[in-house]
Amino acid sequence: MARAAINIVGATGAMHDLTSLGSLEVGCYRKEVGVYCVTGTGGMVPFPPVDQGWGYSLHPSENKADVDIVFEADLLTVNVTMDGKPYDLKAMITLHILVPNLPPIEVPPVVVDPVADAQAEITRLRAAADYAVAPLQDAVDVDEATEGDVALLKAWKKYRVALSRVPEQDGYPLAIDWPTAP
């Protein structure tokens, strides 16, 4: 069993929210004045910290209300009275309850495809090289390239050729000697 906390709206018995370390299959309803029923629990747990008694808390404005909690036949029943009479809470009651553990989740193993990973890296590096080559090639095409531009263009093109030959390496795709970008 796992811990959970549920907030029940006093006027309607509706669940305001549920925080759970286990199952979320919890429901609640107002049976009659001052009687709230909670389904899907395994009973109550101590209020954290454990030495503060059993697991419920009231809004401070209603701390004079008396609360009696019974767990029978898989139904948690909360009886609230004030001055000896059934009393609908004006705010909420928080119950700390037990809920069934969630079943273990089967997570399929991640299958790594080394060829796909290598190809993705080649594609990424090639895109960066293409981005670097484009303005250098433009400068050459319009006769505005400096000697440095021409040398850098040649280095980037050699890098692209080296990238295209990565799949030819011994040990590919598990062992790759990546070329160095200029």
Q: What is the pLDDT of residues 71-84, one digit of tens each?
A: 999 999 999 999 99
Dist. CA 165–CA 122, nearest whole Å? 10
Task: Tell me phi and psi for residue 14, to 5 degrees.
Answer: -75, 150
pLDDT computed for residue 140 by the predictor = 95
Tell me: pLDDT of 53 over 70: no
| Start-to-end CA span in the chain (Å) | 60
Tell me: pLDDT of 126 over 70: yes
Dist. CA 77–CA 170, nearest whole Å? 71
Dist. CA 15–CA 58, nearest whole Å? 15
pLDDT computed for residue 139 by the predictor = 95
Tell me: pLDDT of 110 over 90: no
Query: pLDDT tens, 11-41?
Result: 999 999 999 989 999 999 999 999 999 999 9
pLDDT computed for residue 41 by the predictor = 93
pLDDT computed for residue 182 by the predictor = 95
Helices (H), the chain: 114-141, 147-164
Tell me: pLDDT of 51 over 80: no
pLDDT computed for residue 45 by the predictor = 83
